[in-house]
Structure 1
Amino acid sequence: MKTNHWITLCAAIALSTSASIASAAGDAAKGEKVFKKCKACHTVEEGGKNKIGPNLHNIVGAAAGQKEGYKYSKAMANSGITWDAETLDAFLKKPKAFMKKTKMSFPGLKKEKDRQNVIAYLETLK
């Protein structure tokens, strides 16, 4: 009987944790709309050209400052960062605060939901 109680408790914790993670995730369709602010400097198509900023296709999970064909700041190229939801959120919030001497001149996305949505959109670009 005690074993069943623990199994039920563990299952309830797992479900509540996954539900809170899912509710924190962004909406890729909304993120694509927010990303329009980024299109002046970035492309997202596979094999797309670099503009003022690098092409962002397949950026989630990639090492920062390493895409071929784009001249990154030394700070970005030497950062050792891998772009995941956490690092992208911090960078998109206020790029210059996250990484001193970045070439990114965009002031950032103040709204957490906008950042979550853009990250969800970028995650679809594989």
Structure 2
Amino acid sequence: MKTQRILTLLAATLLTAPAFAEGDVAAGEADFKKCKACHMIADGDNVIFKGGKTGPNLFGIVGKQAGTVEGYRYGADLVAAGEAGLVWDEANLAEYLKDPKKFLQETLGDGGAKSKMAFKLSKGSEDVAAYLATFAAAQ
């Protein structure tokens, strides 16, 4: 009887746990080192991952409308994608990281769309997206 209660409690806990993408957070943290040349992760004065300022601060990027991090000048096509309803989640962020230009072209249906981010993360994009999701802004 005691074992059955423990199993029931365990099952209930698993069913109510938040769902995460298939990315590996620890691997994403390690892979983020490739991103730090341009990006940082900081919550106000709390710097979580020190990096460059060429790209926007990625704290809270998952769950945020694309092209709207305050204080960063985005390219017109990323802003247009955001205005058209693009909100970053783990899946679409992972796709963007693989090839930003191609992602915007497909998202906007515009073969001439461009991204200011030229870097492509051919491997580990799901991991980096999962890592960034751990800093998602409270909804």
TM range, normalised to the smaller chain?
A: 0.7 to 0.9
TM-score (normalised: structure 2): 0.67
How many residue pairs end up in the alignment?
Answer: 103
- Decide whether aligned partners of structure 1 residues 101 and 87 sit closer, same or farther in structure 2, where only a CA change above 3 A counts: same
TM-score (normalised: structure 1): 0.73
Moved runs in structure 1, 4+ residues, more than 3 A? none
8 Å contact from structure 1 (residues 64, 83) kept in 2: yes
Provide structure 2 residue ranges, at least 5 long, that are not aligned to the other structure: 1-14, 105-112
**% identity of equivalent residues:** 49
- 2:90 aligned partner: 85
Provide structure 1 residue ranges, at least 5 long, that are not aligned to the other structure: 1-14, 16-20
8 Å contact from structure 2 (residues 91, 126) kept in 1: no
- Greater helix share, structure number: 1
In the aligned structure 1, how far is the partner of 2:60 from the partner of 2:37? 19
Shift of 1:50: 6.9
- 1:42 aligned partner: 39
In the aligned structure 2, how far is the partner of 1:109 from the partner of 1:74? 22
- 1:105 aligned partner: 118
In the aligned structure 1, how far is the partner of 2:52 from the partner of 2:58? 9
- Greater strand share, structure number: 2
In the aligned structure 1, how far is the partner of 2:32 from the partner of 2:43? 16
In the aligned structure 2, how far is the partner of 1:93 from the partner of 1:101? 14
Q: How big is the alpha-carbon RMSD for the aligned residues of Structure 1 and Structure 2?
A: 2.1
Shift of 1:98: 1.0
Q: Deviations over 1:6-41 (max 9, x none)?
A: xxxxxxxxx9xxxxx87x611111100001000000
